[in-house]
């Protein structure tokens, strides 16, 4: 198949101008898609990118993004060349591919493109386009013979000589005898000319996605407060999202590193984030691989809110420590089942980042006799994230997870359930000692009437822990309703007077 090349460069790159003359001209307006193949045109990818670029490295962003159209992407000078002939069928034709590439608000930054049968031809047209006037945009692309010689990189060194010879276009150079050109200007110029006309194959170092995302960023100004680091980190996160999308990975662990100004005395400060080596480090972890920069940004904001910078910061670096392939997500066909809102692990991680891991707890049941040991409220950790990933929304798998081993011991459980419905719904985290009246009866907000009991709980502990002998009663208080109280039987037997404790509430 005959190769077909696109040359792409960010719009502001040619305004800065590698050939100096471009800055004389006004910025090129957007062209309609209908004339996409009519000539070298520019596409304006929306106004949101018109201000400061949101990318830490715009060229890499454009290259990673364009890898979705073809695997053959190379960077030549300040532009990218894409060989698209192999992927035309996948996109439904050359026209459809170019349209997908130029779709408004799709590209990471506004860009300009040109095409041709060879990469050098496309690059030359791109360079010419920078010099074209607005009115000339709709013209058909320049034929190769008419292209000015300065657009050929290999001819740059010989431009004055060639000009004195009367050679200003590719066609005129090609018309010269090959032997003389090779002797006068060297073989590379002839080879480049052959490549430009498609007579010789072109080779480039094709871009490959790095295995690990590791991007530095120099901040525009020194940053004194940790929260302000977020503005720089946001650009790095946007870049990270492009990398993750291209790799189809989700991030699990991220490291944000910042370099403290070494001239300050307390650059070697030590705390949780600073090890005294002049750098600060922050690790972001997510329970589920994610590509969502908004979630990462919110997490980062919560973490950065707790950091105090000992010295100003000028350099940031974002690195992925752990990523994994992202599974596809199946969506429901029915609109009713789509629920608005963010996912559960986003919620849990945001809460844990802001208020600490102790602020998120899930319960685990154990087969135990002591009520306080029947359940454990555990902080968010490995098991809590397991709960999220296996999905509480699926009753079958959720039921299989409990310590009660539902189903396997259905009969045993039926009896357990019956007795467990006699347990109170609130349990006091610490049992509360109750005062007694003269008869040895407990008092709590007035005298307590013992309704039912005793329920004897006796544990001759052969493992660790004290011996437990309790008589539980359901008591009624006039002001507080039904209470669950117990009496230490050991104390009563020793004649020390019964000690009463409040352990739960029937809410």
Partner 1 sequence: MSALPAPSPDLPDRTAPGLLRADVWRADALAAPRAQTLSSGDAALDAQLPGGGWPVGALTELLQAPGVHNEWRLLLPALARSGAGPVVLVAPPYMPFAPALQAQGLQAQRLLWLGAPDGQGTAALWLSEQALRCAAVDAVLAWLPQARAEQLRRLQWAAAEHHKLLFVLRPSAAQAQASPAVLRLLLDLDDGAALAVHILKRRGPPLTGPLHLAARPAALLRVLASAKPAWSAGKSDPSLHVAPTQTTSAHIAVLQPRRAAS
SS3 (DSSP) at 447: strand
Region near partner 1 per CB under 8 A, out of 168-176, 266-274, 317-325, 498-506: 498-506
Least Cβ distance, residue 291 to partner 1 (angstroms): 17
Q: Indicate the burial class of 102 (C-beta count within 10 angstroms; 0-12, 13-18, 19 or more).
A: buried
Name the residue nearer to partner 1 (CB basis): 200 or 459.
459
Region near partner 1 per CB under 8 A, out of 36-44, 179-187, 241-249, 467-475: 467-475
Name the residue nearer to partner 1 (CB basis): 64 or 472.
472
| In contact, 114 and 7? CB cutoff 8 Å | yes
User: Which residues in 477-496 contact partner 1 (CB under 8 A)?
Assistant: 479-482, 487, 489, 492
Region near partner 1 per CB under 8 A, out of 195-203, 230-238, 250-258, 457-465: 457-465
Name the residue nearer to partner 1 (CB basis): 312 or 447.
447
User: Which residues in 437-456 contact partner 1 (CB under 8 A)?
Assistant: 439-441, 445, 447, 449-456
User: Which residues in 398-427 contact partner 1 (CB under 8 A)?
Assistant: 398-399, 401-402, 404, 416-427
Q: Which residues pair with 79 in a beta bridge?
A: 76
DSSP letters spanning 70-122:
-S-EEEETTEEEEE-GGGHHHHTSHHHHHHHHH-TTTSSS-EEEEEESSHHHH
Region near partner 1 per CB under 8 A, out of 54-62, 128-136, 302-310, 373-381: 373-381
Name the residue nearer to partner 1 (CB basis): 27 or 446.
446
Report the C-alpha gap between 135 and 87 in whole angstroms.
Answer: 33
Residue 199 vs residues 120, 190, 191: alpha-carbon distances, Å: 12, 11, 9
Q: Indicate the burial class of 1 (C-beta count within 10 angstroms; 0-12, 13-18, 19 or more).
A: exposed
> Does residue 393 belong to the site contacting partner 1 (CB under 8 A)?
yes
Name the residue nearer to partner 1 (CB basis): 217 or 360.
360
Q: Which residues pair with 308 in a beta bridge?
A: none
Report the C-alpha gap between 106 and 267 in whole angstroms.
Answer: 42
User: Which residues in 308-367 contact partner 1 (CB under 8 A)?
Assistant: 339-344, 346-347, 350-351, 354-356, 358-363, 365
SS3 (DSSP) at 368: coil
Report the C-alpha gap between 258 and 281 in whole angstroms.
Answer: 7
Q: How many residues bind partner 1 (CB under 8 A)?
A: 84
Place of tokens 């005294």: 276
| In contact, 123 and 156? CB cutoff 8 Å | no
E strands, 388-425, are none
Name the residue nearer to partner 1 (CB basis): 186 or 440.
440
Least Cβ distance, residue 401 to partner 1 (angstroms): 6
Least Cβ distance, residue 368 to partner 1 (angstroms): 9
């Amino acid at each position: 198949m005959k190769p077909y090349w696109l040359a792409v460069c960010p719009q502001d790159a040619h305004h800065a101008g590698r050939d100096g003359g471009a800055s004389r001209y006004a910025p090129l307006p957007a062209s309609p898609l209908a004339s996409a193949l009519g000539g070298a045109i520019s596409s304006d990818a929306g106004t949101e990118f018109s201000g400061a670029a949101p990318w830490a490295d715009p060229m890499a962003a454009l290259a990673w993004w364009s890898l979705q159209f073809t695997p053959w992407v190379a960077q030549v000078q300040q532009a990218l060349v894409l060989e698209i002939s192999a992927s035309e069928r996948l996109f439904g034709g050359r026209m459809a591919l170019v349209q997908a590439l130029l779709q408004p608000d799709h590209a990471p930054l506004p860009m300009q493109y040109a095409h041709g049968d060879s990469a050098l031809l496309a690059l030359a047209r791109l360079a010419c386009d920078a010099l074209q006037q607005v009115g000339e945009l709709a013209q058909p692309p320049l034929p190769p013979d008419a292209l000015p010689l300065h657009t050929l990189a290999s001819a740059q060194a010989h431009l004055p000589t060639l000009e004195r010879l009367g050679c200003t276009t590719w066609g005129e150079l090609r018309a010269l005898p090959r032997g003389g050109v090779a002797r006068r200007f060297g073989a590379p110029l002839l080879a480049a000319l052959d490549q430009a006309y498609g007579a010789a194959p072109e080779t480039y170092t094709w871009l490959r996605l790095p295995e690990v995302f590791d991007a530095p960023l120099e901040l525009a100004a020194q940053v004194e407060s940790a929260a302000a680091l977020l503005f720089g980190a946001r650009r790095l996160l946007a870049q990270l999202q492009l990398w993750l999308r291209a790799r189809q990975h989700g991030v699990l662990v991220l490291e944000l590193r910042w370099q403290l100004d070494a001239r300050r005395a307390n650059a070697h400060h030590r705390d949780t984030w600073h090890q005294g080596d002049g750098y600060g480090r922050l690790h972001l972890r997510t329970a589920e691989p994610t590509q969502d920069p908004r979630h990462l940004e919110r997490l980062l904001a919560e973490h950065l809110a707790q950091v105090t910078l000992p010295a100003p910061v000028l350099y940031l670096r974002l690195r992925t420590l752990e990523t994994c392939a992202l599974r596809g997500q199946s969506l429901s066909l029915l609109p009713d089942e789509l629920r608005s809102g963010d996912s559960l692990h986003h919620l849990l991680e945001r809460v844990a980042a802001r208020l600490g891991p102790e602020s998120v707890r899930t319960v685990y049941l154990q087969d135990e006799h002591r009520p306080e040991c029947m359940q454990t409220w555990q902080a968010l950790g490995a098991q809590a994230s397991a709960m999220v990933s296996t999905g509480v929304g699926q009753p079958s798998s959720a039921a299989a997870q409990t310590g009660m081993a539902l189903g396997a011991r259905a009969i045993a459980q039926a009896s357990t359930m019956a007795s467990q419905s006699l347990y109170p719904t609130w349990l006091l985290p610490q049992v509360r000692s109750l005062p007694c009246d003269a008869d040895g009866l407990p008092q709590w907000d007035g005298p307590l009437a013992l309704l039912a009991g005793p329920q004897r709980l006796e544990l001759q502990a052969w493992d660790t822990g004290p011996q437990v002998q309790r008589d539980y009663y359901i008591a009624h208080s006039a002001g507080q309703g039904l209470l669950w109280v117990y009496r230490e039987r050991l104390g009563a037997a020793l004649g020390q007077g019964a000690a009463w404790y409040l352990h739960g509430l029937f809410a």
